[in-house]
Every structure is written in structure tokens, then in C-alpha cells.
Structure 1
């Protein structure tokens, strides 16, 4: 029996097996990275909405205080 086909088939199986392992690992890591990115994006949206609401509340408070005749100097 010749040794060349046995060596080449074994080598091919090792190379393809290693390639499949790293392909699956890469896809799994990309999924984790995407979940992390989505979580950071959602957190950023929450912070932006909170800042806008705080600014709007301050503006409405300032307008209401002016209408009620309260003296609120900025300096």
C-alpha cells in the first residue's frame, strides 16, 4: 500500500478540520461582538434621551418661573 494517499488525506482532514473550527469560532465571536455593539447603542440612546429630557425640563421650569414672576438671574 502506498503511503502518499494516506499522508495527504490525513493532512487534508487536519487542515479542513482546523479551518472549520476557526470559521465557527469566528462566527461565534462576531455574534458576541454584535450583541455588545447593540447593547452599547441602546445605552447611548437612553443617555441621549435622558439628557434631552433634562434640558427640556430645565427650559420648561425657567419659562414657568418667568411667567409666575420669579426672579431667576443666570449669574
Structure 2
């Protein structure tokens, strides 16, 4: 079970690095972008939709892994 800690720590590191990259990129692009409000709202909605899809995929992956490992996921 030592590989679990390594795998989760690596995943967490990748998530943080990816998040910081996109945060810095967003702030940099925000200064360069001289767009109107409609474009910004569309971009924000797109990022929100991607976030929700990735969140649902992570949830499905988590429950799939839990079932594969034989964990009981039923409510009491």
C-alpha cells in the first residue's frame, strides 16, 4: 500500500501545478485582453462548464476506484 501515498501525492502535485499555471495564465491574459463583457461571460461559462465536467469525472473515478477496492458505499 506504499504506492497509494506516492500516487495520491503525485496527483495532488499535478493538480496544484496545473491550477497555478492556469491561474497565472488567466491573470496574464486578463491584462492583455481588451474584450467586451459578453466575451468574458462566455469564457467564464466555458471554464465553469469544464470545471463541472471535470468534477463529475473525478467523482465517478473516485467511486469507481472505491468499488474496485471493495469498499461499501451504501448509506446507513
Greater relative contact order (Cα < 8 A, sep 6+)? 1
Could you report, residue by residue, the CA deviation over 1:15-67 in whole angstroms, capped at 9, with x for unpaired residues?
A: xxxxxxxxxxxxxxxxx9x6110000000001000000110000000000000
Please give the root-mean-square deviation of Cα atoms over the aligned residues, in Å. Answer: 1.9
Separation of aligned partners in 2, 1:54 and 1:48: 10
1:51 corresponds to: 52
**Large movers: runs of 4+ above 4 Å:** none
Shift of 1:73: 1.3
Structure 2: gaps of 5 or more residues? 1-33
Structure 1 length-normalised TM: 0.52
Separation of aligned partners in 2, 1:74 and 1:58: 17
Trace 1:1-75 onto structure 2 (pairs within 5 A). 35-73=36-74
Structure 2 length-normalised TM: 0.51
